Each structure stands twice: as structure tokens, then as C-alpha cells.
Amino acid sequence: MIQLIALHGFLNRGDLFDQTLGHWAADHPELEFSAWAPDLFSPDSPLSADLTMSEWAERFCELVEVHTHPEEPRVIMGYSMGGRLAMQVLLAYPQLWSAGVLISAHPGEEDNAQRQEWRESWMDRFSSEENFSQVVNEWQSQELLASSPGKKYKVREEDFDREALALALARWDRTQHLFSLEEVEDIGRPLLWCWGQQDGVYSQLYRQLKEQGIPGQWTEVPGAGHRVPVDAPRELASAMVKFLQSIGLGGQK
């Protein structure tokens, strides 16, 4: 049985993957799995962004060892910000993982004044007493997220620690990681990179990464923008199952 550990993106919860996992179970019963998708930004989360990246990775992997069985393959899946966290734990604790699935996840870039201004502005807004719904609506109206074809992910203020959201922007931004692109090249585990067909930013980025020789399988998900797990959960499940079977993790009941 495959043990799947799934890390959601910014302003999401673990239930982001519910539809994808439901389609996996219904459409591909030949590939058995268990899943753990922790909430990272809930008020009582032990995996909040009040930890540094290295501290977070250590605590997360300690919990993985508690929640999973060492004799069964572990696969880490991460979407967007969760994908960057997944890269960190793949690099820091490679012995735990059989494979990784990275969805709309940026491998990191150099910081600059424009990015700093963007980050600090959103940090201030999420940690302030500004109306939460208004902040969320404006966040979701950004060009990258607007690539998703009209589908919404429900966000409720009571599900989130606003200070944790602000800290995540500071510590888990794509400019703040502890690893380099060269290290991602040497990650040493089978990888699946997924992106939405309508996501122009990641379509271009992943094309460049593939041309640079970054290892892995590359799958463009039709009908999806940036929010692949929301936009095309059945297609994502199918891509994941195909990948896992191709690397020898597909068993029969």
C-alpha cells in the first residue's frame, strides 16, 4: 500500500486534496493507498510557520514516521507552497521517501525589491484586522490564481491562524528556501511535476526546467489553471496513478 502524505498550498487546508483522493479510490482501486493531509495554518497546528524551515522539516518528518509504516512506500505530494515544502523534506530526509509529486510548485528564485514589497504588503494584510473576506478575495484575484477556470476553494477565517499565514509568506516564500536548483537536480527520488494547461506562468517555467535537465516526469493537466487539485481532480489522480505505476509502485489488490 502506498502511503501518501499531502501538503496543501497557501490559504488552503488538507481537504484541498479530498476530490483528487476520492477519484483515485473510485477510478483506480487496483492501487491501494492511505493518505495523511495535515492542516498547516489552523490555529492548533503543530506544523505552523512559527518554525524555521529546517525546524519545520524536522518536526514534519518526525510526525511522518509516527503516522506511517516504515515497510510501506511513502510518497510526498505538495501543491504550490506545499510543493516547495515537499522539496525541502525530500532533500533533507531522502531516506523517508520513495517518490514525490510536485504540483504548481516553484523550485525557488532570487529575491528582489519587487518581491519583497509584494510579500510585506500581503504579510501586513493577513496579520492585520482588515476584513478577512476582502483580503482573501483580493488574494484570489491575483493573475496567477485567476488562471483557474472559475472554480473556487472555500476559505473560512475560523480555519486559519492569520499570524501563521503572515509568517508563511515570510519564511516559505519561493525566495526564502534553504535549497538551490542544483540540489533539486540531484534530489535522487522519482519526481512527477504537474501543472495546469491554462497556467501560463508554470507552463513556461516547467518547460524551462525540463529543458535544463531537471529530472522527473512532466504532466500538463488539461482543463486546469494554477489550482490543479481544485480545477481537475480526476485528471490529477489519473496522472499520479500512472506515474506511481510507471516507477514500480503499482500493486494489485
167 pLDDT exceeds 90? yes
Cβ neighbour number for residue 121 with a 10 Å cutoff: 11
pLDDT value of position 50: 83
Q: What CATH superfamily classification does 2-246 receive?
A: Alpha/Beta hydrolase fold, catalytic domain (3.40.50.1820)
3-state secondary structure of 210: helix
Q: What is the pLDDT of residues 10-54, one digit of tens each?
A: 999 999 999 999 999 999 999 999 999 999 999 888 898 888 888
Dump the DSSP string for 35-47.
EE---SSSTT-TT
C-alpha cell at 28: 483506480
pLDDT (mean) for 146-161 = 84
Question: Which pLDDT score is estimated for 148?
Answer: 80
- The answer to whether 42 touches 160, Cβ cutoff 8 Å, is yes
Q: Which residues contact 224 (CB under 8 A, 6 or more apart)?
A: 148, 149, 195, 196, 197, 198, 199, 231, 232, 235, 236
Report the pLDDT value the prediction gives residue 185, as an integer from 0 to 100. 86
Report pLDDT for 65.
Answer: 92
Question: Domain ranges in the chain?
Answer: 2-246
Find out whether 100 and 184 touch, Cβ atoms under 8 Å. Answer: no
> What does pTM read for this prediction?
0.95
Q: Would you say 41 and 168 are in contact if contact means Cβ atoms under 8 Å apart?
A: yes
Dihedral of CA 143/145/146/148: which sign?
positive
Cα 227 to chain centroid, rounded? 10
Q: What's the whole-number mean pLDDT along residues 96-123? A: 94
CA pair distance 120, 140, nearest whole angstrom: 17
Residue 251 has pLDDT above 70, yes or no: no
pLDDT tens sequence across 178-237: 788 888 888 899 999 999 999 999 999 999 999 999 999 999 999 999 999 999 999 999
